[in-house]
Copies of this chain bind each other. A is one copy, B any other.
Amino acid sequence: MTFREDGYAAVDWAAAYLDRVGELPVLAQVRPGELSEKLPDSAPEHGEPFANVLSDLDELIVPALTNWQHPRFFAYFAVTASEPGILAELLAAAMQQVALNWRSSPASTELELRTVDWVRQLLGLPEGWHGHIEDTASTGTMAALIAARHVTQRNVVVCSEHAHSSVEKAARMLGMELRKVPVDDELRMRADGLDLSDVAVVVPTVGTTSFASVDPVRELAERAHAAGAWVHVDAAYAGSSWILDEERWSQDGVELADSLVVNPHKWLLVPVDCSLLWTSRPDEFREAFSLVPEYLRTPEDAYALSEYGPALGRRFRSLKLWAVLRCYGAEGLRAMHREHIRLARLFADWVEADPDWELVAPLRFSLVVFRRIGSDEENEAIVERANRSGEIFLSHTRLDGRYVLRLAIGNARTTEDDVRRAWEVLNR
């Protein structure tokens, strides 16, 4: 294998894919098992040229992709793997750092601490918080629950009925009891009347998955702390928007958090996986994970990021965060956020102006939640037809049992034309 030639070919393939991704179906148009049937049953006995892998990408893999890089991907939360982030993954793999501890990769360890601190500043979070990278918010939230149980010696988790499933999953994995709290008419977790006396951790969400609603973090945090509970804020999606002064309203009370998760792989152009986890109580947080007794600590240990989460081996994820922050700069990221929020406002205006449609939740950030006036079945049929067309991909949720549509704007390629096209497809 000639690495340079194969590498150029891989870059060409990636460039061509990104050039034409907007012409591919957004949602994969295959049935379950269709790719599996085309893949050989066994690994080859003899090695093949890398060119075969590239040609099979076109033959086998691309038809089975749901194209998250597509400008009309509006499902879940839309994301972008930006070009500096993509190339940084190549470089990180070449350098193959395994940051078990400081000495096994000073570069990965120190760049991670620094770049995560850069993001902390961009988002206006308190000085002195300790931040590191986990793969996903599921892992970060699980780590926070572990720390909370360790510190409080209690076993109950409290979150909104609209909290992300990862909170329930983490509680279940850890054997903790979950209590879901109802929401008010703006879909915010109710803080009144909560008895937190036996609670380990309260998990307010800033930007819920279904509706992007914002729980009353300050009130919840004050009550939690008064009761001796930990506060973990899930701002996986919406936290990135704090890069804009005008979105900082949703940060109210977050400075009281004991831990916080924000995902640059959602709305800061970093390829998956890159989820940031900060804690304002790093020593107690670390105690929950570290197997190193205090009397054996060395100065190097202060840097061992594996002591702040479940995994020992850690890859060089900060490289892509660094590349993205440098190549876009703060102003580039702010411009993208403003545009996405503007497009969401525009779409919401169309919905509001049309008597056949209605907004079903207050517009927050870049997520529009809406439905066509009519039955659940009609709305479901609209979504299924739109997704099967391959022209757009959006997802749904339920509000008080009713089927509702979600249009999430978050891909860097998305333009006003794409949003208009979505509106046309839905109205067809």
Contact = CB atoms under 8 A, between A and B. Distances in A.
A172 B290 CA distance: 9
Interface stretch (A47-55, A216-224, A399-407): A47-55
A27 B103 contact: yes
Interface string A260-277: 000001000001110000
A204 interface: no
Interface stretch (A30-38, A245-253, A349-357, A416-424): A30-38
A197 interface: no
Interface of A: 1, 3-4, 6-8, 10-15, 17-18, 27-28, 30, 32-36, 39, 42-50, 52-53, 57, 61-62, 64-66, 68-69, 75-76, 79-81, 83-98, 100, 102-107, 110-111, 113-115, 118-119, 121-122, 135-139, 142, 146, 149, 165-166, 168-170, 172-175, 265, 271-273, 288-289, 291, 299-300, 302-303, 310-313, 315, 319-320, 322-323, 325-332
Contact of A106 (B64, B139, B271): B64
Sort A-B residue pairs by CB-CB distance and give the 3 closest, nearest first. Answer: A7-B11, A64-B107, A14-B94
A86 to B, nearest CB: 4
Given A43-B121, A53-B84, A329 B48 contact: yes
A247 B296 CA distance: 38
A139 B122 CA distance: 31
A69 to B, nearest CB: 5
A169 B312 contact: yes
B175 A53 contact: no
A44 B310 contact: no
Nearest to A80: B96
Given A76-B100, A173-B310, A310-B138, A94 B81 contact: yes
Contacts of A10: 11, 87, 90-91
Nearest to A411: B96
A97 B68 contact: yes
28 contacts: A1-B84, A3-B18, A4-B12, A7-B15, A28-B107, A32-B102, A42-B121, A43-B330, A48-B326, A53-B322, A62-B107, A64-B105, A66-B104, A68-B104, A75-B104, A80-B96, A86-B90, A87-B90, A89-B89, A89-B92, A89-B93, A90-B90, A136-B312, A146-B173, A168-B291, A169-B289, A169-B291, A272-B315
Given A34-B106, A139-B310, 4 more contacts: A53-B322, A53-B326, A89-B93, A138-B312
